[in-house]
Amino acid sequence: MAASIPGMDAAVGFILQNLKESIQYNTELIGKVKSNVKDLCDDLDTLRAFIKKYSEDYSKNEILEKLANEIRTVVYRAEDAIERYISCSSVQKLRGGFGRAVHYVDYTAELRDVGKEIEKVSKDVREIYENKAPLGFAAMQVDEICTRVQKEKKTLVVEEDNVVGFDDATKDVIELLTGESDNQSDQLEVFSIIGMLGLGKTTLAKKVLNDPKIEYEFYTRAFVNVSQEYERKEVFLKILGSFTQITDQMNKMSDEELAKELSNHLKTRKYLIVMDDVWTKEAWDQLKIAFPNNNKRSRILITSRNRPVAVHANTNINPYNLRFLYPDESRELLRRKVFGQNSCPSELEEYELKILQKCDGLPLAIVVVAGILVNHRGRTDWWKRVAQDVNDYVARDQEQSYVINLSYNHMPYRLKPCFLYLGVFREDFEIPIWKLVRLWIAEGFIPQDGSMSLEDIAEDYLEELVDRNLVMVGHRRSTGQIKTCRIHDTLRDFCKKEAAKENLFKEIKKVGQLASLSPDTCDSFRRLCVNAVVSDYIKSKPSGECVRSFLSFAKEETTLQPDHISFIPKAFKLLRVLDVRSIIFTRFPTDILYLVLLKYIAISCHFKILPEKMSNLWNLQTLIVETSSRTLDIKADIWKLAQLRHLHTNASTSLAKSKEQPSINASLQTLSTISPESCSAEVFDRTPKLKKLGICGKLRNILEAHGQSSFFASLYKLEELENLKLLNDDISVKLHALPQENMFPRNLTRLTLLNTLLEWRHMSTLGKLEKLEVLKLKDNAFQGELWKTEDCGFRNLKVLHIGSTNLVMWKASASHFPILRSLFLRHCTKLEAVPSGLGDISTLQEIDLYCTNPTVATSARKIQVLKLQVQAKDKHRRGSGFKLSVYPPDQ
């Protein structure tokens, strides 16, 4: 389909990036074919420029589509050839070093064959460009006219009559438009409704427009669909035609003349204009000139899938986020569409429930399924069949497919693989953002851009997808950053199908699935995700010569039998990504040591030692180990892993001392959690870019008076350290003090303490940390019955978490926490009350109480009443809102 061509620019770009990294980091291994590889990259650079230049304007050209498919095949072959060469060279080198010279002859022969393949790939690339590209130029001139005509004709309204319920949404939007709050003046105001495709934004806007109260308030009303492809003249004429006769003179006017004509008509009226489906900021800027600010409380209502468009139109007022349907609303919508009334035969209710669960509150999906059921109202077998394959039926719907494709095609090339990749996660999986970001980077989807870190660029990409309402935010951190996200099943199915076309990844749902495919098709998949039947699949001895990623996000953990542990590394010798946290390894899989292309490893295990030879994985960027052991001993020299960015473990981890000259790792950003014994000055001197540090063990070894100065002196040098965790596992020893505030890292924004048993008077030291935004005092971090917060502290603190403690009385005022947003209290069973003064903090948005004294909940509710009174006066302005959570709830 057309999307494959624009996507080729990104695909070639990502592969080029990976190839160039392979050349850079494996120069020694590809020495014999380095010139061939360089020539190949030059050819691919030329092809990439060609694709980028011409596919933007000629995306529906059949010759280009065919060319795109050939290019994809060639670039994948190029990647395979070079990386097989690197892999073979490294295995030959490593096995030779291990005394396995018996393999030398075989690998030498394979290296020669791969070298010949690289030469052949280079020749094919030149042939495609030199012989076939000109054919595209001739055909494209004709195709350009057809494409543009199709764009002009194809305007599809997809959200007609989709909303049942949403009475609260209708009421809210009407109040927005007609409210008499202090914040609304007589000036023209712009309001927005945003939400995922298919949610019913258009229908809600029409429902509001036709409401009697709106008809009474606004005599002049108009509805106009803008859409992705629009003509300003047509938009202005449509609005004019809503309240006056269109004349021949108007039809002959230019865009600018029509804008003035429309403005003249509106300047004496109190008007409401609905601008439906606005795609870009530029579209709004081009159209808004026709709407005069006539001081008559006129209103513009925009609907959009893209949050930045809504914010751009009015930076002062929050866009209205249209929610998904509640279960009872979903049921009523399906029933009314199928049966014409809110009832369903009892024998169908079982299947009705399954259908609605899979539609997940998305009106468009429900309407599509209703259209399939309406002619089979009484057939139980038909309902059962649809219930089993809801997603397939929805995906076949042309209207649904068109809407999703429209959003996908409108997406920048750089976002497309990141979006499609979301399909590897299983249904309803809450995707941790830290995991997603590191996977995108390891997969090569995130190009370096100036001085920004790859992680920051990836998070910006995610925010863009959220703003386009293609990704749903699961949970946000109290600082506002996204913590988890998810994708609607309808979009997930689109991602899986589109990714299969692009050979991006394949989901394995049952054992033997790949065996049913042709060898060519099987070999083309670059990534495999197995979210079910994991154990059976591995037991089947899978193989995948070209597979770069093996992923499993299964709900249940699977313990691998000892004789199956080597099956994964032996099957996929070119792996870059191995994320199998749902699979438990009982011993270390030694064959992993030969997968030198690995950039990302996430495993669960029962062992407590990582062998020395892991130092051979010189491409490794992220290492995540979750072990059942309390300690983990890394025998490998991590300083040989020059690209290592993140080391995550759940145990107190000991790092091996380097046997070589001290070297700096400018890539390493995360060390969590390491043992106190590993916290040497040498370690911190080697990690100048460290952003997150977790230390777990007997903290007295580094925090007691005799060692405190040297430890924090080394820590202070880490100018980029933002997140510090100090987790004490020896609660028999009480820590007596913290260092002075000027000994802490200067850019520290997040601090977590556990079992440190400090006295509350030491909180004054933490209060002086100028950039501290998040303070998590986990269980037994501080002890004592009284905490009197001091003045001039916590100037930038946004989040305060207090875990289990014997604190009874807390004295504090708003001035002590001037910009606090969130307060979490966990198991504070002796605390009598939340300080009433905290209710005066204007930024406070959340108090969350878990297993606290009932009197604490009472005091928090008093603060809630105060906050809600303020919120009622400022309901729709940005940044407003307050939430109180109490568990267990009152009986």
Confidence of residue 817 (pLDDT cuts 50, 70, 90): very high
> Which tens digit of pLDDT belongs to each residue from 639-670?
999 999 999 999 999 999 887 777 888 899 99
Cα gap 473→360, rounded to integer Å: 15
* Cβ count within 10 A of residue 588: 17
Percent of the chain exceeding pLDDT 90 equals 36
Pairing assessment for the beta strands 482-486 and 472-476 based on DSSP bridges: antiparallel
Q: What is the pLDDT of residue 135?
A: 44
> Which tens digit of pLDDT belongs to each residue from 752-776?
999 999 999 999 999 999 999 999 9
Average pLDDT score, the chain: 81
Cα gap 409→215, rounded to integer Å: 38
> Which tens digit of pLDDT belongs to each residue from 170-205?
888 998 888 754 445 678 889 999 987 777 888 888
Confidence of residue 450 (pLDDT cuts 50, 70, 90): confident
Q: Where are the domains of the chain?
A: 4-153, 167-321, 327-400, 411-500
pTM above 0.85, yes or no: no
Highest mean pLDDT among 23-27, 178-182, 541-545: 541-545
271 has which bridge partners?
220
Helix (H, G, I), strand (E, B) or coil at 413: helix
Among 132-141, 175-184, 394-403, 538-547, the range scoring the smallest mean pLDDT is 132-141
* Cβ count within 10 A of residue 793: 21
Q: Residue 857 pLDDT > 90, yes or no? A: yes
Q: What is the pLDDT of residue 105?
A: 40
Q: Higher pLDDT residue, 412 or 483? A: 483
> Which tens digit of pLDDT belongs to each residue from 28-62?
777 666 676 676 677 666 666 655 555 544 455 56
Q: What is the pLDDT of residue 87?
A: 82
3-state DSSP helix/strand/coil % of the chain, to nearest 5: 50, 15, 35
* Structural contact between residues 562 and 586, judged by C-beta atoms closer than 8 angstroms: yes
* Extended strands (E) in 385-466: 431-432
Q: What is the pLDDT of residue 132?
A: 54
| Helical segments of 154-254, H only | 167-178, 201-209, 212-217, 232-241, 248-251
Structural domain 411-500, CATH architecture: Orthogonal Bundle (1.10)
Residue where the block lists tokens 């060609």: 50
Question: DSSP code of 470?
Answer: S
Q: Residue 155 pLDDT > 90, yes or no? A: no
Provide mean pLDDT across the span 20-31. 69
What residue type is 852 in one-letter code? Answer: T
Provide mean pLDDT across the span 295-317. 89
Q: What is the pLDDT of residue 651?
A: 95
848 has which bridge partners?
824, 885
Question: DSSP code of 130?
Answer: I
Q: Residue 21 pLDDT > 80, yes or no? A: no
Cα gap 16→46, rounded to integer Å: 11
> Which tens digit of pLDDT belongs to each residue from 370-407?
767 776 777 888 888 888 777 666 665 555 666 677 66
Q: Residue 157 pLDDT > 50, yes or no? A: no
Q: Higher pLDDT residue, 162 or 53? A: 53
First to last CA, the chain: 58
What residue type is 331 in one-letter code? Answer: R
Cα gap 506→546, rounded to integer Å: 12
Q: What is the pLDDT of residue 165?
A: 63
At 822, give phi and psi (nearest 5°).
-135, 135
Q: Higher pLDDT residue, 244 or 271? A: 271
Q: What is the pLDDT of residue 66?
A: 66
Q: Residue 120 pLDDT > 80, yes or no? A: no
Topology given in CATH for the domain delimited by 167-321: Rossmann fold (3.40.50)
**DSSP letters of 521-567?**
HHHH--EEE--SSHHHHHHT----TT--EEE---SS-EEPPGGGTTH
Among 187-201, 664-678, 824-838, the range scoring the smallest mean pLDDT is 187-201
Angle between helices 232-241 and 255-266 (to 10 degrees): 30
Provide mean pLDDT across the span 506-526. 63
Task: Give the list of residues 6+ apart from residue 389 with CB closer than 8 angstroms, or none.
Answer: none
Q: Residue 17 pLDDT > 80, yes or no? A: no
Q: What is the pLDDT of residue 854?
A: 92
Q: Identify the helix (H) or strand (E) that includes residue 369.
A: helix 363-373
Q: What is the pLDDT of residue 49?
A: 60
Task: Give the list of residues 6+ apart from residue 88 with CB closer than 8 angstroms, or none.
Answer: 107, 110, 111, 114
Q: Residue 229 pLDDT > 60, yes or no? A: yes
Confidence of residue 67 (pLDDT cuts 50, 70, 90): low
Cα gap 481→486, rounded to integer Å: 15
Provide mean pLDDT across the span 803-817. 95
Cα gap 238→287, rounded to integer Å: 13
Q: What is the pLDDT of residue 187?
A: 86
- Both structure tokens of 688: 């100048």
Task: Give the list of residues 6+ apart from residue 636 with CB closer than 8 angstroms, or none.
Answer: 610, 611, 612, 613, 614, 615, 656
Q: Residue 6 pLDDT > 60, yes or no? A: no
Confidence of residue 306 (pLDDT cuts 50, 70, 90): confident
Confidence of residue 331 (pLDDT cuts 50, 70, 90): confident
Helix (H, G, I), strand (E, B) or coil at 393: helix
CB hemisphere CA count around 386 (13 angstroms) = 29
* Structural contact between residues 91 and 46, judged by C-beta atoms closer than 8 angstroms: no
